[in-house]
Each structure stands twice: as structure tokens, then as C-alpha cells.
Amino acid sequence: MHPFILHKSINDIYIGIFILNSNAQELSIKYINQNNNESNCEKNKFQTKLNFITIGGILDIYIMKGQTPLKVIQQYHNLIGRPQLPPLWGLGWHHSRWGYSSIDSLNAVSQLYTYNKLPLDGNTHIIYILL
């Protein structure tokens, strides 16, 4: 998780704050009314209090500014890189050899995947090797 905050200022300028630290960290946002009582009331009528707590380390703080949220997010992605889509098997899209009672049932499932043009990612080869 990257602690990244996107904030809209009063004059409609968007500010992104990215805090990079390798140590454990916690970020919390609270809203404070005029009597300095912390509450979870409407954001527009209260001041915002941002707490960043870390156990140590070196902090790299990046502040990005833009006219739209998209421009700020583009700057953020230029800094950290574009998100990568993990392989399907990395998201749990795989089968295990333990769920089949026979090689015939495994072959039937494999043929149905081929017939329906569904991908059999990396674990397909592992299934046949383990049998």
C-alpha cells in the first residue's frame, strides 16, 4: 500500500501527497469542528486533521499539484510507474490436481476450457507434470 492523499483545495486546485517509507506506517484522517472536537461529521463544514505515524526510517515526501485529479494521478504514476495487471493464476485463477478423481475428469475439464476459449495459464503445465 502506498500512502497517497489526493486533496482538493479551496481554489479548485488538486494536490497529491505521496509519502514513501519502508517502515510500518499508519495514516488517519479526522474532521474537527470549530470547538476542536473530533467528529465524523460532514467534511465541508469542518477542518481536516491528517495524522501520519511511522516507527522510523527515512521519509521521502512528494507533493504534486494539478488542475484536475487526473493530472495529479498522472504525475503520481510517472513517479511510481504504471500499475501492472498480475497473471490470472496469481489472482487465484488456477486448478489443482487434488480436486479431480481421475485423469479422465481432468481431461474433460481441460477440453471444456479449450472449447470455451478460456485461458489455461501457468498451472496447466504443472498439472500434467505432477500427474
DSSP code string of 45-111: GSEEEEEEEESSS--EEEEEEESSHHHHHHHHHHHH-PPPPPPGGGGT----GGG-SSHHHHHHHHH
- The pLDDT tens digits of the residues spanning 4-57 come to 889 888 888 999 999 888 888 888 888 777 555 555 555 456 677 888 888 888
* 22 close to 57: Cβ distance less than 8 angstroms: yes
How much is the pLDDT for 88?
65
- pLDDT at position 14 is 96
| Cα–Cα dist 45/32, whole Å | 9
The structure's pTM equals: 0.55
Instruction: Please report, to the nearest 10 degrees, the dihedral formed by the alpha carbons of residues 35, 39, 69, 26 taken in order.
Output: 110
The reported pLDDT for the residue numbered 96 is 67
